Structure 1
Amino acid sequence: MLLPLSNPSSSPEPQIKKPKTPPDFQRKYSFKSLKAFLAAHYPSFNQPRICLFLSIFFIQILLLVALRSVPLSFHPSRHHFPSPFIAPHRHHLNATISTTTTTASATTASTVKEESSCEFGRIFVYDLPSALNKELVTDCDELNPWSSSCAALSNDGFGPVATGISSVVPENLAPAWYWTDQFVTEILVHNRILNHKCRTKDPNNATAFYIPFYVGLAVGKFLWLKNSSAKERDFHCEMMLKWVQDQPYFQRNEGWDHFLTMGRISWDFRRSKDEDWGSSCIYKPGMRNITRLLIERNPWDYFDVGVPYPTGFHPRSDNDIVQWQDFVRNRNRKNLFCFAGAKRSKIKNDFRGLLLNHCRNESDSCRVVDCAGSKCSNGTSTILEAFLDSAFCLQPRGDSFTRRSIFDCMIAGSIPVLFWNRSAYYQYEWFLPAEPQSYSVFIDRNAVKNGTISIRTVLESYSEDEIRRMREKVIEFIPKFVYARPQEGLETTKDAFDVAVDGVFRRFKEQEQPGYRWSAGPPIASGGMVVQGPSFWLGMAAMDFSASYLASWVSRKWAMVVTFV
């Protein structure tokens, strides 16, 4: 190599070859130099606890990078969600879209029950104090500050029979329809799990433990009361956790093999401060390792699992599924698209109000169902009829990121048009097709707002064959969207309950893999960001932190740093 000249004007000296430094020597002394540099400029680097924390942190990063490149069995599939998409213009789609009459079976291999034994294990259902479930249903008159909830909770949670719906659906399928409330999954799942073929009454034989706590009903009665206290909203959750944590089977595994259903959206249970909305149930230390089934999950929380909202269709048999699929497949759809919703006047630049106006301006291709007031409450078939008559249905976010209407739309064989990734793609991985574009359309909401995209133009660019394929994919997955009426389930078809329980069993099986719990299970991908589950941070407990406090703190912080997509 060339040595620097001491005097630029002097003549160059003969080149002298410098002896090559052994690689080990270089690494050794370069590290010392780096360490000395850091110690000089960052005095805290001399503190052993800081070094220990940084070491644990960087080891986790290295493991994460290494494991992401290896197809290990305990990593779930990660789907690439679509970017805002404008379909290239294709030939025009006529206002009336018809399909060829075909007959197909109700299910694919993924939704057919196997007659095998309980390969993943058995479920034990706790017998909780009645104040945590049965009494809440018995006191149904007190669950809503404005009206009684008794009708909504009748018929084992399915609600009143849907009268007058035979004018919209086949007459022989009308008895399978109910006016089901969207917040009753706790009751539906509890009744089904009591009759599950893999239920055991001996906890020593169980691989999964179900906690039949009606937490959504418990907190729902306080959500709309201005004078309700944080203590009231947390009372039932704290009672449940105290009871469950005293059970030897919970203590044995610290809750990792326990799960429950929370019948509202995740944010109703994530109160950070006493004066804020909802309960703080999810942030309680005892909830840290419990898997939670919710109609809307926090995509950055490993223990939240999104399950479908209950719809009004509750098939009584496999044949009900087949008949309904044939009915929606052969439906003559008069409208290109539709929108059912109400604007929120108190919300600035309300997107639903924009869609209502957009639809009214395209009245020759879009059907509007204005849900102002109580026009779209349980007891009307207007929305179902609109979905049945439309090729596409617009699905903006609701009061939260998700809305029941997405499933009402797909049950009717209509193709959902989404504007937020978190409305479906980040929510229901166990229940939806792996490729979002195979069953849905995603449109950039900002482009709609600024007028650079016409929803009608985008939807008209799809050919009839493309629409037929997308609709067929939606129809194929209908069994996974519904909660069947029989408490023992359908004959061979897996419904939403079966898919959810199978997923829980698989998850608990995966958790037995060496190192799985230490890393909090697999990281969760969101765009270009990877967020570890809560137990990733428990390595920091080597410092003077309480592990339970730390997990709660991290969970709270991630909830506040959510990127709205």
Structure 2
Amino acid sequence: MLSLVGHSSPSSSTEAETLKKPKPPFEEPTRPNHVFSHIPPTRTTLLLFLILLQFLLILYIIHSPQTNHSPPIPSPIHVAADSDCHARRIYVYDLPTIFNHVFKERCDELDPWTNKCDAFLNDGLGASAADDVAGIVPEEVLPAWYWTDHYWGEVIFHNRMLNYKCRTMEPESATAFYIPFYVGLSVGKLLWGNYSAKERDWSSLMMMNWVQDQKWWKRSNGSDHIIMLGRLTWDFRRLINSDNDWGTSLLHMPAMRNIIRICVERNPWDHLEIAVPYPTVFHPRTAADTLSWQNFIRNRNRTSLFTFVGGARRTIQNDFRGLLLNQCLNDSGGTCHHVDCARSGCVNGTTKIMEAFLSSDFCLQPRGDGYTRRSVFDCMLSGSIPVFFWTRTAYEQYEWFMPSDPSSYSVFIDRREVRNGTSIRKVLESYSRGRIKRMREKVMENIPNFVYANPGRHGLGTAAATVRDAFDITVDGIMNKYKDHMQRGGRGRRRRRLQNEG
């Protein structure tokens, strides 16, 4: 396995000899040293004490962390108190670079259509968008905007884990173990074109072999391990080894049976999967950034009733997006704003999309490649109220991050009603200005829950208050599950002990 990452060992006697300790440049004297013979005994004792003291001081300096010249190991920016991290310490595996960092070096090979090198800038947030959004967003929050790739969650989570307040460098003290494998990036290109099922599975198989060899895996068989999947869960659920079947078989590999999976769209029937928000283009540095943005969108003048960002998929029979597009374009009252993604790419956001959402009360959110789409979060980030047509687009995905009452922040119109002729405009016009204002406040209130703070900082917490972002909510949720599981296990062991004693 080590040969995969370029490690090698000496293979000849010549190489072995070079590793031997070099001989001293001179021989030790064979005759006794009589230096101390001319010094009185009391002074000799004092001199020996001073020499011993200097020797201990040198040992301390050599072993002090401040003078250790070995390669630095990333450590948490903020070290939390032991009471804050009780039963929630996470150890981040130092995987061979073939499973993560190598993709930054080969960034121009990750996508069959575009170069992804800029996506790695700024710890995975992408290139700065400050110049592009100047004049659209308040000046004080310009540094918080980046052109973030919606499938770059693996990189963002990895960098945040390296700075997690309860990260531990000692695996024996860890409650959970994070596997920083960029599996979505490794297969992104392989999902398209003439790649065999074996080729698509190769990196996942190699990673699982490596992890299963670790001592800490064997302790729990992976039940305390976590991995982030930056793409939809369906990209990792190939059932058969057919070259014509979609995706990889990662989630059907036996070793994945117990691992907690974080992904942007989960399988609702898999209790080990947790859906997290897609990364948006806003990455606040502090809670003050979030507050400034909330105040800005609260006072926006919105000139459109609703917006539809997307294009028709004419190759799909009875395409639902086509129905939405027709309702928008045929709106004689001019209440619908359309951004045509067929003419301009909408994958990672554009200023046109942001301006459209900022100017609209509602935004239409049909399903994307899966049931979810990044546009849901771009929409709410702008203070626009999402309109859903499938419950699985948000309600059955992001329970940890959204209000418990869907009607408090969103509108649901069953897609079958739209196909039967229901007018979206008439449904939305039935909402009073007062109710729209209350719904917008609920959307804005939850913005911190679905944005990712800058990875170089410890979330959005301040000395006065703790403001959790999407990463904090995810990790807290997972660790609370572990805590509950451990407590239930402890109670069960006590019950069994009492029964045996009785």
SS of corresponding position for 1:512? helix
* Cα RMSD, aligned residues only: 1.7
Q: Partner letter of residue 249 of structure 2?
A: S
| Deviation of the 1:260 alpha carbon | 0.9
Distance 1:376 1:173 in 2: 23
SS at match of 1:278: coil
Asked whether 1:425 is paired with 2:378, we answer no
Gaps of 5+ in 1: 1-113, 519-565
Name whichever of 124-133 and 328-337 sits farther off. 328-337
CA-to-partner distance for each residue in 1:501-541, whole Å, 9 max, x for gaps? 1111012122225479x9xxxxxxxxxxxxxxxxxxxxxxx
Matched, 1:512 2:486: yes
1:310 to 279, 283, 307: 279
Which one of 444, 455, 460 corresponds to residue 475 of structure 1? 444
**Matches of 1:494 and 1:280 in 2, distance apart?**
34
Any idea what the Cα deviations from partners look like across 1:354-398, whole Å, max 9, x if unmatched?
A: 101101112521111111043424462001111111111010101
1:256 to 223, 226, 230: 223
Amino acid at match of 1:413: G
In structure 1, the residue matched to 2:204 is: 237
Alignment-mate amino acid for residue 117 of structure 1: D
- Cα distance, 1:248 vs. partner? 1.7
In structure 2, distance between residues paired with 1:380 and 1:470? 25
- Residue number in structure 2 paired with 1:498: 472
Given that 1:356 and 1:370 are in contact with CA atoms closer than 8 Å, whether structure 2 keeps it comes out as no
1:92-131 alignment runs, 5 A limit:
117-131=84-98
Note if contact 1:376-1:382 (Cα within 8 Å) is conserved in structure 2. no
Matched residue of 2:460: which SS?
A: coil
Which amino acid letter does the alignment assign opposite residue 205 of structure 1?
Answer: S
Amino acid paired to 2:183: V
Q: Which residue of 2 aligns with 1:298?
A: 267
Partner of 2:330: 361
Code of the residue aligned with 2:192 in structure 1: it is W
Paired position in structure 1 for 2:103: 136
Distance, in Å, in 2 between the alignment partners of 1:373 and 1:276 is 30
Whole-angstrom CA distance in 2 between matches of 1:160 and 1:287: 34
Consecutive unaligned residues of structure 2, counting only runs of 5 or more, are 1-79, 493-502
Alpha-carbon distance between aligned partners in 2 of 1:192 and 1:400, rounded to the nearest angstrom: 26
Could you tell me which amino acid in structure 2 is paired with residue 234 of structure 1? Answer: D
For residues 239 and 179 of structure 2, what CA distance do their matches in structure 1 show? 24
* Structure having greater relative contact order (Cα 8 Å, sep ≥ 6): 1
Alignment partner of 1:184 is 2:184: no
Q: What does residue 43 of structure 2 align with? A: none
Whole-angstrom CA distance in 1 between matches of 2:345 and 2:450: 24
Structure 1 stretches of at least 4 aligned residues deviating more than 3 Å after TM superposition? 513-516
Which residue is 1:218 aligned to? 186
Q: Confirm whether residue 207 of structure 1 aligns to residue 175 of structure 2.
A: yes
CA displacement at 1:126 relative to structure 2: 0.5
Instruction: Report how far residue 171 of structure 1 moved.
Output: 1.9
1:121: how far off?
Answer: 2.0
Q: Does 1:434 align with 2:404?
A: yes
Q: How does 1:22-421 map to 2 (within 5 A)?
A: 117-162=84-129, 163-225=131-193, 227-273=194-240, 274=242, 275-362=244-331, 363-378=333-348, 380-421=350-391
Change (3 A) 1:124 1:445: same
Query: What is the TM-score when the length of structure 1 is the normalising length?
Result: 0.69
CA distance in 1, matches of 2:233, 2:487: 28
Shift of 1:414: 0.6
Say if 1:122 and 1:208, in contact at 8 Å, map to a contact too: yes
What is the DSSP-based 3-state SS (H/G/I as helix, E as strand, rest coil) of the residue aligned with 2:302?
coil
Distance 1:145 1:463 in 2: 47
Quote the offset at 1:125 in angstroms: 0.5
- Residue by residue over 1:442-493, the C-alpha shift from the partner in whole angstroms, topping out at 9 and shown as x without a partner, is 0011111111x21111111111111111111110100011111142322332
Query: Could you tell me which residue of structure 2 aligns to residue 450 of structure 1?
Result: 420
Q: In structure 1, how many angstroms separate the alpha carbons of the residues matched to 2:323 and 2:426?
A: 17
**Which residue of the partner structure matches residue 20 of structure 1?**
none
Aligned to 2:54: none
Whether the 8 Å contact between 2:93 and 2:179 is mirrored in structure 1 is yes
Number of residues paired by the alignment?
Answer: 402
**DSSP 3-state at the match of 2:164:** coil
2:46 aligned partner: none
Aligned position for 1:79? none
The CA deviation at 1:317 is: 1.2
Q: How much has 1:212 moved relative to structure 2?
A: 0.4
- TM-score for both structures, normalised by structure 2: 0.78
Q: Contact between 1:316 and 1:486, CA under 8 Å: does it hold in 2?
A: no
